[in-house]
Amino acid sequence: MNYDAIVIGAGFSGLYALKRLRDDLGLTTHLYEQGSGVGGTWYWNKYPGAMSDTRSHLYCYSFDKELLQQDEFAQHYRLQPEIRNYLENFAKRYDLNKDISLKTEVAGAVWDGDAKLWRVELGDGSVVSARFVVSALGLLSRPNLPPIDGIESFAGEMIHTSRWPEGTTWKDKRVGIIGTGSTGVQVITAIAPDVKHLTVFQRSPQYSVPSGNGFMSEDYIRGIKENYDEIWSQEKETITVFGAKESHVSAHDVTPEERERVFEEAWNDGGGFRFMFGTFNDLITDEVANGYAQEFIRSKIRQVVKDPVKAETLCPKDLYAKRPLCDAGYFQQFNRENVDVVDVRANPIARLEGHSVILEGGETYELDMLILATGFDAGDGNYMRMKLQGEGGISIQEQWKNGARSYLGLMNANFPNLFMVNGPGVPFANQPPAIELQVDMLAELIKVTLDRDAAAIEAKESSEFEYVELCMELTKATILPKSKSWILGANIPGKPLSLNFYMGGYGRYKDILEDVRSKDYEAFSFQN
C-alpha cells in the first residue's frame, strides 16, 4: 500500500494528526498502533488510581468548540477510564477508526531518497510506503523494567503499571511496589486500604502535595464552559498551561512569614504544578528558593506521618526538581499498620528469588504480587528500538548517539518528511494543547511543502544546532540537571542527557513557531 501519510501511535498526538492530515489536508492517511485500542497513555495505564493531574477542563483538545461544550467531567482531575473514553469518542466523532490498524507495530521506516518516500516496515514483515510519516510514539510510553537480578523468574505476580491487566486484584494480598514517582504515589494511595500488606521499596522519597481533587459544582463547570475561549487564550500565554496561575514573585522577596503563608495556601488549594509554579517564580531556578519549598513539604510530611521513623524515611532530602507531584492522601497511607516503607537507596535490592525481594543487607520480603512503578524510558525510548533510517542510511541511533535532540521537537536534519510529535525539545507543558500546537505546525509544514511543489522538507542542520543550544541554555538555567529524573533521561542508567524539553514555556514556544512562519520557513530546506 502507498499512502500520502502514515501516522504511528494512537494517543492524543496520533489521533489528532490523523484528523488534520486526512480531513484538513485531504491526504490519504493511515495510522498504525501496536495496542489493541486507541488512547495511547490512557489505553495502557490502567493501574489503580491512574489519573491526570492537569485540571480536567484543560486536559483535552482545545480546537473543537462543540466538543468542549459536550465534554463531561465532574472532578478537578480526570481519571484514566474517563480519558480513555474521551479519546475513543474523539476517534468515533471524526470517524478515525476506519483508517487505523490496531495491534500493528511499526518495526521501522527507511527513507528511499530516489523515490522520495518512506518505506515503513510493519511487525509482520510487510512493507507499506508513504511520502510523509508522523511518528507519535509517545513521551512516556516505553516501560522501564529495572535491571534487577532474577526479575525474569519472579514466582509471584509481577506487573509493570503501564501494562496492568484488566481484572487484576490486589485485595488481601501481600503486595510490594518498587517506585514512588507519580505513578507509584497514585497506586499506593489507591490500593493501601485493601491489601493485606504493602511494602513500598523506595529509592527516592518524593515531594508530593495534596491534589485537592473533588467534585466541581455545576455552576463552576458551567462557568468554565461559558468562558472557554477566554480561558484557553489566557492559558496559552502561560509557561505550563496546567491551569495554575504562575507566580511572578521571587521566594527571596518576601518575609519568611509570607513565604509560609503562600506555601500553606497552595498546599490547601492543591495541585503539583500550582505548588511548583504558582507559589514563587524561582523554585526551579534557585536552589535556596527551592530549599524553602523542600523544608515546607518536609514539615508537612512530618505532621502527617505519625511514626517518626517512617516519616524520616519518607522525607526527601534531594532537590524539589522532578516533575511536581500531587496526591489524594499518599503520606496518610503510611499511618496504616499494613503499610511499610523500605529505604532501598540505603539498602538496595540485591535480587528477586522465588516469591521474595531480597535486599543487599539480606532482609527478605515474601510477596504475592510485585508492582513495578518504575516509569519509562522517556522521550526517545520507543525510537531507539526501531529501525529508523534517514538520508544516506543514517540511523536514529547514530543521529542521537550523544542524546536525543531535534529542531522544535518536530524534525531532525537527515530525516526528510519525518515529523515527530513530542520529539526531543517540545515545551514542558500540559500535553494536549502542546500536542495540538505541534500537530498544527507539522500539518502547516506539509502544506508548505506541497504548495511549493517540493518533494521533501527537512530541518537545516544549522536550525537544529541553534535550537539545541537554546534548549541547553534554558535547561542549564534551571536546577533540573542536578536532579536525576526522566525529564533529561537521567532515570535510565547509562543513557546520555536527552533534551526532552524546551524549558522556555508553551507561550514562548508558540512565539518561536510564529517566528519560523514570519521568516518564510527558512529554517528548513526543501528538496525537489
Interface ranges with ligand FAD (CB under 6 A): 8-14, 32-35, 40-41, 43, 45, 50, 52-54, 59, 105-106, 136-141, 183, 382, 386, 421-422, 430-431, 435
Stretch that binds ligand NA7, among 57-65, 108-116, 167-175, 372-380 (CB under 6 A): 372-380
Q: Is 375 in the site for ligand NA7 (CB under 6 A)?
A: yes
CA–CA dist 11, 41 (Å, integer): 7
Strand partners, 79: 51
Contact 406, 442 (CB under 8 A): no
Among ligand FAD, ligand NA7, none, partner that 422 touches (CB below 5 to 8 angstroms by kind): ligand FAD
Among ligand NA7, ligand FAD, none, partner that 106 touches (CB below 5 to 8 angstroms by kind): ligand FAD
Find how far residue 42's CA is from the centre of its chain: 11
Instruction: Copy the grid coordinates of residue 412.
Output: 531532525
Sign of CA dihedral 217, 218, 222, 224: positive
Instruction: Copy the grid coordinates of residue 325.
Output: 507531584
Q: Is 400 in the site for ligand NA7 (CB under 6 A)?
A: no
Q: Name the nearest CA neighbour of 137 among 378, 382, 376.
A: 382
Instruction: Copy the grid coordinates of residue 495.
Output: 543513557
Stretch that binds ligand NA7, among 10-18, 175-183, 298-306, 513-521 (CB under 6 A): 175-183
CA–CA dist 460, 525 (Å, integer): 6
Q: Is 191 in the site for ligand NA7 (CB under 6 A)?
A: no
Provide, rounded to whole angstroms, the least separation between the CB of residue 241 and ligand NA7: 14
Residue 398: count of CB within 10 angstroms of its CB: 11
- Report DSSP letters for 303-362, one per residue: HH--SHHHHHHHS--S-S-SS-EEESSTGGGGGSTTEEEEETTTS-EEEEETTEEEETT-
Provide, rounded to whole angstroms, the least separation between the CB of residue 190 and ligand FAD: 12
Q: What are phi and psi of 63, to 5 degrees?
A: -80, -20
Among ligand FAD, ligand NA7, none, partner that 436 touches (CB below 5 to 8 angstroms by kind): none
**3-class secondary-structure state, position 275:** helix
CA angle 128, 130, 133 (to 5 degrees): 110
Among 486, 501, 502, 506, binds ligand NA7 (CB under 6 A): 486
Among ligand FAD, ligand NA7, none, partner that 54 touches (CB below 5 to 8 angstroms by kind): ligand FAD
Q: Which residue is nearest to ligand NA7 (CB)?
A: 181
Provide, rounded to whole angstroms, the least separation between the CB of residue 437 and ligand NA7: 18
Q: Is 433 in the site for ligand NA7 (CB under 6 A)?
A: no
Among 239, 321, 326, 373, binds ligand NA7 (CB under 6 A): 373
Among 29, 183, 313, 389, binds ligand NA7 (CB under 6 A): 183
Nearer to ligand FAD, 45 or 414 (CB): 45
Task: Look up residue 399 and give its amino acid.
Answer: Q
Nearer to ligand NA7, 178 or 358 (CB): 178
Q: How many CA atoms lie within 13 A of 102 on its CB side?
A: 13
Among ligand FAD, ligand NA7, none, partner that 137 touches (CB below 5 to 8 angstroms by kind): ligand FAD
Nearer to ligand FAD, 108 or 156 (CB): 108
Nearer to ligand FAD, 154 or 501 (CB): 501
Q: Is 54 in the site for ligand NA7 (CB under 6 A)?
A: no
Among ligand NA7, ligand FAD, none, partner that 181 touches (CB below 5 to 8 angstroms by kind): ligand NA7
Q: Is 491 in the site for ligand NA7 (CB under 6 A)?
A: yes
Among ligand NA7, ligand FAD, none, partner that 13 touches (CB below 5 to 8 angstroms by kind): ligand FAD
Among ligand NA7, ligand FAD, none, partner that 491 touches (CB below 5 to 8 angstroms by kind): ligand NA7
Residues contacting 144, CB < 8 A, separation 6+: 374, 375, 376, 377, 381, 491, 492
CA–CA dist 445, 450 (Å, integer): 9
CA–CA dist 235, 427 (Å, integer): 14
Among ligand NA7, ligand FAD, none, partner that 463 touches (CB below 5 to 8 angstroms by kind): none
The alpha-carbon radius of gyration of the chain (Å, integer) is 23
Nearer to ligand FAD, 406 or 430 (CB): 430
- Report DSSP letters for 317-332, one per residue: -S-S-SS-EEESSTGG
**3-class secondary-structure state, position 440:** helix
Alpha carbon distances (Å) from 122 to 99, 105, 392: 16, 6, 21
Provide, rounded to whole angstroms, the least separation between the CB of residue 429 and ligand FAD: 7
Contact 278, 238 (CB under 8 A): no
Provide, rounded to whole angstroms, the least separation between the CB of residue 58 and ligand FAD: 9
Q: Is 382 in the site for ligand NA7 (CB under 6 A)?
A: no
Provide, rounded to whole angstroms, the least separation between the CB of residue 430 and ligand FAD: 4
Strand partners, 389: 110, 395
Task: Look up residue 37 and give its amino acid.
Answer: G
CA–CA dist 526, 514 (Å, integer): 19
Contact 205, 325 (CB under 8 A): no
Stretch that binds ligand NA7, among 173-181, 261-269, 419-427, 448-456 (CB under 6 A): 173-181
Among 117, 178, 426, 456, binds ligand NA7 (CB under 6 A): 178
Q: Is 507 in the site for ligand NA7 (CB under 6 A)?
A: no
Among 344, 435, 488, 503, binds ligand NA7 (CB under 6 A): 344
Please measure the distance between the N-terminal and C-terminal CA atoms of the chain and give it in whole angstroms. 23
- Residue found by looking up cell 511548583 in the block: 276
Q: Is 204 in the site for ligand NA7 (CB under 6 A)?
A: yes
Nearer to ligand NA7, 140 or 516 (CB): 140
Stretch that binds ligand NA7, among 190-198, 245-253, 258-266, 369-377 (CB under 6 A): 369-377
CA–CA dist 220, 266 (Å, integer): 20
Binding site for ligand NA7 (CB under 6 A): 140, 146, 178-184, 203-204, 323, 344, 349, 373-376, 486, 491
